[in-house]
Structure 1
Amino acid sequence: MIYEGKSLTVSLLDDGFAELVFDAAGSVNKFDRQTVSELDEATQALKGRDDVKGVLVRSGKSAFIVGADITEFTDLFSKNDDEILSWVGKTSQVFDRFEDLPFPTIAAVNGFALGGGCEMTLACDLRVADTSASIGLPEVKLGLMPGFGGTVRLPRLIGSDNALEWMTTGKDRKGPQALQEGAVDAVVAPDKLRDAALAMLKDAAAGKIDREKRRTAKKAPLSLNKNEATMSFSTAQAMVAAKAGKHYPAPHMMVETVKNAAGLDRDGALKLENEGFVKLAKTDAAKAQIGIFLSDQLVKGKGKKQAKASDKAINLTAVLGAGIMGGGIAYQAASKGQPVVMKDINRDALDLGLKEAAKILGKGMQRGKVDATKMASTLNAITPTLEYSTLKDADLVIEAVVENPKVKGMVLKEVEETVADDAIICSNTSTISIDQLAGNLKHPERFCGMHFFNPVHRMPLVEIIRGEKTSDATIKAVVAATLKMGKTPIVVNDCPGFLVNRVLFPYFAGFSKLVLDGADFAKVDKVMEKDFGWPMGPAYLLDVVGMDTADHAAGVMADGIPERMQKIGNDPVTIQFNAERLGQKNGKGFYEYGTDKRGRPTKEASQDAYGLMQSHVADSRDFDKDEIIARLMVPMANEAIRCLEEGIVDSASEADMALLYGLGFPPFRGGIFRWIETIGLANFVEMADKYAHLGPIYQVTDGVRQMAADGKSYFA
């Protein structure tokens, strides 16, 4: 044994070649501080040997190395710039020292080789991947850039254009594509990986592969003339500007770093990379995106734990109601290979549900993501029916009929009388109290809410709503079923609007008040989209939701939380609804919808909408963007805080992920609680107090006021 650590070992094989094996405690290999330190110690041990002809680097697990240990970043990035620069500089030098070993090195890549794992392979002279491999540099998804030499080695290996596309998108490559682009030297079957890598390593040691030429290229400036460099980097800058926009600094920093390092050797280029990494580590975007990663891990881990504890098998799912939502839910289950019974009261509705599933699959086929076999198997998994009797074998029933408590109550009662005694019944409701609906059932312990978001196949979140009498066993089984359907479950307690809609409607109320005070809805949308980062501004979102749906839900919220959510007199939403302007449903709302000469969809601010509101709103005036953002976001934040304080949601992390997955909250802001903390709790309280005269939705709780005074955090 040449070296033995807790995360990796180095042993000498019979023929004089060494084998460095990453095999850390736990399920995956990752570059935490201990592993980096052990890699350096192993490198020093190898360097001092004169009996080693070459080194094979491989993993003892089903994946190579999944990247850096993100859990270490929060503490690390709280340090000052010099300390972070020292850490990243010393770490990248560990990879340099491995790259400079006096004999050939090769990486045998299986499974994921991401981030630092990919950078480890780049520090080797050669790379062989098996057909399971996925290789990439996804740091941009954390608001960061590669810090262990990725921006230096990859462009010199596969060219700056390809490398920047890898890094600025964060997309990984399967073995064949990585081979085509020059990032690996061969792709083999998994059972051939070690032997193929050893054979190539021996060829390099025998001089059949020129490793020195490869090393020289990785350490030299990029081989681009002035015109090529100008074209390459201006194209990359334009692409990043178009796709990432101004809110995500990481991809812009990557392009600038590779551009400025193009004429430098390895040491000079690595210095620029280290400095860029530190600048990004201190950005709000990085803090937010790292927060998302950690919150996502928490949510997924919690879901898996609950699912694992369930002893209820869900072999057949039934969906009641075959409209857009019902059809979408049926499709989602069927697309994951689960048999589904889809019931409605008339044949036309069933046809609509099947058409909805076929439409989703058809679009998938157009994009090349669905083949004929997948389309057929998915549609064949859905059994349309008009009869209740077909539900008798269902393990899980999801009611998705019209959003009316009387109708839902009647349907739920009929379902309970039909299904088996141990069947679980759920309601896909967006606002109606689960406890109220449970009053129609003899066994409310087997009942909960299962709130999907539209469009079902695209929106990751399912809110699982626990009623007062819902059993733990029911929640665990529904969490398991949700995961099986490919969705992210977040469990919340029952209240009007649950979590997502409860925090959304104060945001809409803030918008309505702003319009009544003379703001231009189109300008408000522009600020909330371009400056805050929402995928849709509030007026556009209301058009997509539908004015009828929004008006009805606002009534439900007003009944449930009258102290803060009473309907606003002359609400612009109600004005549109009363004029039968429903939004995208009938092509007219705040905007007019149509198609241009080429058949592409169009959206124009509606003069009719302005006219309808004219007698109800104050004189038109301009609001600056900070006031627009504050007047919409403070009500949302206040209601999210109340949900956390009341125990509707268990943690700030879960609330953040619910809004990210359910509403498209801007990822670079990290979620509603990350946004509050980025502002600073004391500053948030001051901002809210500035608008407290506008009504209860702007008034902060005593709890957040005390947290601000005590300097506490929602993520402590």
Structure 2
Amino acid sequence: MIYQGNAITVARGLDGGGGDIAMLTIDLKDESVNTLSSAVVEELGQAVEAIRSERGLKGLVIGSAKEAFIVGADITEFHGMFEQGGEVLQRMLETVHGIFNAIEDLPFPTVTAINGLALGGGCELSLTTDFRVMAESAKIGLPETKLGIVPGWGGCVRLPRIIGADNAIEWIAGGTENRADAALKVGAVDAVVPAEELEAAALDILNRANGGELDHRARRDEKTSPLKLDAIEQMMAFETAKGYVAGKAGPHYPAPVEAIKVIQKGAGERRDRAQAIEGKSFVKLAMGDVAFNLVGLFMNDQVVKKKGSRYARQARPVNRAAVLGAGIMGGGIAYQSASRGTPILMKDIKNDAIELGLKEARKLFAKQVERGKLTTAQMAEKLTNIRPTLSYGDFGGVDLVVEAVVENPKVKDAVLTEVEGQVTEDTILASNTSTISINRLAENLKRPENFCGMHFFNPVHRMPLVEVIRGEKTGDAAVAATVAYARAMGKTPIVVNDCPGFLVNRVLFPYFGGFSQLVEQGADFQRVDKVMERFGWPMGPAYLLDVVGMDTAVHAGEVMAEGFPERMAGMAGDRGDGKGKSAIQVMFENDRLGQKNAKGFYAYEEDRKGKPQKVRDEAAIALVRGVAKESREFSDEEIIARMMVPLCLETVRCLEDDIVGSPAEADMALIYGIGFPPFRGGALRYIDAMGLSAFVEQADRLAEELGPLYAPTERLREMAAAGERFYPAGSGD
């Protein structure tokens, strides 16, 4: 044994004979995957020193004992490291570069055997060796730009020199995970073999290198020298790419364009100088808010996934499902279930609705065929997973039923009590409701412990979030089964407790309330939209209301006003306080429902692909002008504060009221459910970034003029006074 650590071992004798080939194996104890934590990096440095001191070696293979090779650096360490400042980051980068360069400079050929995922630092480690062999099922890539940083362990230096600048830009700026065949095609790996032949392929390459057939020294020279591009080629490769990537990434995500600049600046340099350029950019980005928030987002996503996994492990499997109510929503749910392999009955009382649901499912499958994701034969096979029916005949064999009929408590109550008599005592019933209380819908059920909410967001096939709503009498088995089914559908389920609007809509409507008050005081709704879109929302509040539908907004607003009258009375409907009607109510009463009838705050015209495009509408502008009680100019900062403070405060209240279990789940629900700007990390991280004291002061100033919707909670005041945060500093979240 050359070296033995907690995560890394190095032993001679991989060739089974002469013992002149060493095998460095990464196997992080007590973990399901390998990561390059600071402790593992330290071991790697020790292992490389031991290898350099070993006599008689003719080759090195780097491999993994786990299913994945290395999934990257240990991201749980990032926040703590970022908070220590740029000098600490710079020292860390120099340490890793020293270790990786030592591998690259070993006096014999080296090869990495990539058996599974090789991402981030794992990919960068593989690039240090002369050769790479890859299992057919493995994937490789540098996803750092998705975390708001650039590859900092040599990825921006080595990858362009191995696969060319154009390909490297595509991989790094896109943050893609690349299949083995794609990696082989661009030259990122030298061979792709079945997993069981990986070791033999690695040894074969080393033997050929030692025999003079493969020139590993030439490989090294290419990796450590300037890129072979003249001035015109550099301009073509980099300037064009920067413009294209900047357009795709948008102004709030600097890392993809920064990565191209790093490759460009280092193109004419040798290894050490190019790595210094890379390191400088890494530190600059790592010290910014975007990287901090995107890393936090990754950590929050891991929290949500772990909670979902725990529920799913407790659940009975859902082998067959059913959806009550066809149409667009029912068809979307049926498609999502069928496309992920869970057969589903789609029931309605009308043939027309059944046909509409099937049409929706067929349309979504056809798009998958157009994109090359499915063959026609696969589409036909998946469509057989959807079985339309007008009766309850086969409901005795169903494990879970999603009720997705009209958003009316009487209709839902009738349908739920009816279907309960047609299923087994173990069948789970779940209501796809956006606002109606689960406790209320459970009142007439014989087995309320088997009932919960399962709130899908529209359009079902695109929106990742599903709220699983626990009522007072909902049993753990019902929650677990519903979470497991949502995960099987490819969704991200977040469990919340019952209240008006649940989590996402309860938080969204104060945002709409802020918008209504702005318009009432004379703000131009089109300008409000532009300001909030520049802030990072995918669409402004008026545009979002058009997408939601004014009828839906008025109904949900009434539910919210009934549930929280002090804060939310009259936000979407008649204000009921002698102050007239909201802009939303006025739109509704004038049959301006939004995209569904092509007129709302904007008018809508179809583009060449049949998608609705918003255009200015003077009739809508005149209606909104009639709502305004005064004429007033607002700065961008005022608009942002008046929109964001009520949304953030309601998120705080949901956490304090135990509607949602953790800051991580609250923030992820808003990002996945309503498009909260990801680079800002979520509502609670947004408050943390501002500082709780500054946020409370801002909210108090607004509350004096605008009322209880802007008033901080007592607990938030206590947290601010104590210097607390929702996410403790350096905690890794």
The TM tier, using the shorter chain, reads over 0.9
- Matched-pair contact (CA < 8 Å) for 1:520–1:620: no
Instruction: Give the superposition deviation at 1:613.
Output: 2.1
Listed one character per residue, the Cα deviations across residues 419-457 of structure 1 (whole Å, up to 9, x for unaligned) are 111111111000000001111212211111110111111
Partner of 2:104: 99
Q: The residue matched to 1:128 in structure 2 has which SS?
A: strand
Partner of 1:368: 372
Distance 1:338 1:583 in 2: 34
Partner of 2:488: 484
Partner of 1:80: 85
Distance 2:242 2:473 in 1: 56
Partner of 1:223: 228
Q: The residue matched to 2:440 in structure 1 has which SS?
A: helix
> For 2:719, which of 667, 692, 707 is the aligned residue?
707
Instruction: Give the superposition deviation at 1:619.
Output: 4.8
Distance 2:398 2:412 in 1: 19
Distance 1:659 1:599 in 2: 29
Q: The residue matched to 2:217 in structure 1 has which SS?
A: helix
Aligned letter for 1:153? R
Q: The residue matched to 1:490 in structure 2 has which SS?
A: strand
Aligned letter for 1:650? G
Instruction: Give the superposition deviation at 1:305.
Output: 0.9
- Asked if 1:524 is matched to 2:535, the reply is no
Listed one character per residue, the Cα deviations across residues 531-565 of structure 1 (whole Å, up to 9, x for unaligned) are x1111111111111111111111111111111111
Aligned letter for 2:627? H
Listed one character per residue, the Cα deviations across residues 58-114 of structure 1 (whole Å, up to 9, x for unaligned) are 111111111000011121111021111111211221111111111110011111000
Instruction: Give the superposition deviation at 1:370.
Output: 1.9
Listed one character per residue, the Cα deviations across residues 218-245 of structure 1 (whole Å, up to 9, x for unaligned) are 1111111111112221112102210111
- Asked if 1:39 is matched to 2:44, the reply is yes
Partner of 1:251: 256
- Asked if 1:659 is matched to 2:670, the reply is yes
Mean CA deviation greater in 391-400 or 444-453: 391-400
Partner of 1:614: 625
Distance 1:423 1:602 in 2: 43
> For 2:138, which of 133, 139, 157 is the aligned residue?
133
Partner of 2:538: 535
Partner of 1:11: 11
- Matched-pair contact (CA < 8 Å) for 2:312–2:481: yes
Distance 1:159 1:518 in 2: 55
- Asked if 1:116 is matched to 2:138, the reply is no
Q: The residue matched to 2:712 in structure 1 has which SS?
A: coil
Against the structure 1 CA distance between its residues 598 and 247, is the aligned structure 2 distance closer, same or farther, given a 3 Å change threshold?
A: closer
- Matched-pair contact (CA < 8 Å) for 2:407–2:433: yes
Matches within 5 A, 1:287-366: 287-310=292-315, 312-366=316-370
Distance 1:664 1:478 in 2: 24
> For 1:698, which of 705, 710, 716 is the aligned residue?
710
- Matched-pair contact (CA < 8 Å) for 2:688–2:727: no
Instruction: Give the superposition deviation at 1:390.
Output: 2.9
Distance 1:363 1:482 in 2: 22
> For 1:423, which of 421, 427, 430 is the aligned residue?
427
Q: The residue matched to 2:461 in structure 1 has which SS?
A: coil
Aligned letter for 1:11? A
Q: The residue matched to 2:228 in structure 1 has which SS?
A: coil
Against the structure 1 CA distance between its residues 713 and 4, is the aligned structure 2 distance closer, same or farther, given a 3 Å change threshold?
A: same
- Matched-pair contact (CA < 8 Å) for 2:320–2:400: yes
Distance 1:450 1:599 in 2: 31
- Matched-pair contact (CA < 8 Å) for 1:147–1:273: yes
Against the structure 1 CA distance between its residues 620 and 239, is the aligned structure 2 distance closer, same or farther, given a 3 Å change threshold?
A: farther
Distance 1:79 1:491 in 2: 35
- Matched-pair contact (CA < 8 Å) for 1:40–1:98: no
Listed one character per residue, the Cα deviations across residues 301-342 of structure 1 (whole Å, up to 9, x for unaligned) are 1111111122x2322211100021111111111111111111
Matches within 5 A, 1:519-598: 519-530=523-534, 532-567=535-570, 568=575, 569-595=580-606
Mean CA deviation greater in 396-405 or 569-578: 569-578
Instruction: Give the superposition deviation at 1:620.
Output: 4.7
RMSD: 1.3
> For 1:156, which of 153, 161, 171 is the aligned residue?
161
Instruction: Give the superposition deviation at 1:576.
Output: 0.8
Distance 2:374 2:585 in 1: 41
Partner of 2:95: 90
Partner of 1:212: 217
Distance 1:243 1:99 in 2: 35
Distance 1:190 1:105 in 2: 19
Distance 1:374 1:656 in 2: 37
Distance 1:421 1:389 in 2: 16
- Matched-pair contact (CA < 8 Å) for 1:160–1:232: yes
- Matched-pair contact (CA < 8 Å) for 1:337–1:381: yes
Instruction: Give the superposition deviation at 1:621.
Output: 4.2
Aligned letter for 1:53? K
Aligned letter for 1:641? V
Aligned letter for 2:643? L
- Matched-pair contact (CA < 8 Å) for 2:33–2:68: yes
Partner of 2:731: none
Distance 1:183 1:57 in 2: 16
- Matched-pair contact (CA < 8 Å) for 2:519–2:624: no
Aligned letter for 2:568? M
Listed one character per residue, the Cα deviations across residues 241-281 of structure 1 (whole Å, up to 9, x for unaligned) are 10111111211221221121122111111111111111111
Listed one character per residue, the Cα deviations across residues 130-170 of structure 1 (whole Å, up to 9, x for unaligned) are 11110100011111111111011011111122111111110
Partner of 1:645: 656
Aligned letter for 2:622? G
Mean CA deviation greater in 628-637 or 12-21: 12-21
Q: The residue matched to 2:100 in structure 1 has which SS?
A: helix
Partner of 2:685: 674
Q: The residue matched to 1:223 in structure 2 has which SS?
A: coil
Q: The residue matched to 2:474 in structure 1 has which SS?
A: coil
Distance 2:620 2:664 in 1: 39
- Matched-pair contact (CA < 8 Å) for 2:595–2:612: no
Aligned residues: 714
Distance 1:172 1:388 in 2: 44
Matches within 5 A, 1:371-520: 371-520=375-524
- Matched-pair contact (CA < 8 Å) for 1:410–1:440: no
Distance 1:58 1:596 in 2: 52
Q: The residue matched to 2:394 in structure 1 has which SS?
A: helix
List runs of 5+ in structure 1 lacking aligned partners: none
Q: The residue matched to 2:63 in structure 1 has which SS?
A: strand
Q: The residue matched to 1:233 in structure 2 has which SS?
A: helix
What TM-score does the superposition give when structure 1 sets the normalisation length? 0.98
Listed one character per residue, the Cα deviations across residues 328-381 of structure 1 (whole Å, up to 9, x for unaligned) are 111111111111111111100011111110111111111111221321122111
Aligned letter for 1:5? G
Partner of 2:194: 189
Partner of 1:625: 636
List runs of 5+ in structure 2 lacking aligned partners: 729-733
Partner of 1:2: 2
Distance 2:53 2:430 in 1: 66
- Matched-pair contact (CA < 8 Å) for 2:262–2:278: yes
Q: The residue matched to 1:712 in structure 2 has which SS?
A: coil
Q: The residue matched to 2:140 in structure 1 has which SS?
A: strand
Distance 1:358 1:266 in 2: 53
> For 1:172, which of 177, 185, 200 is the aligned residue?
177
- Matched-pair contact (CA < 8 Å) for 2:324–2:347: yes
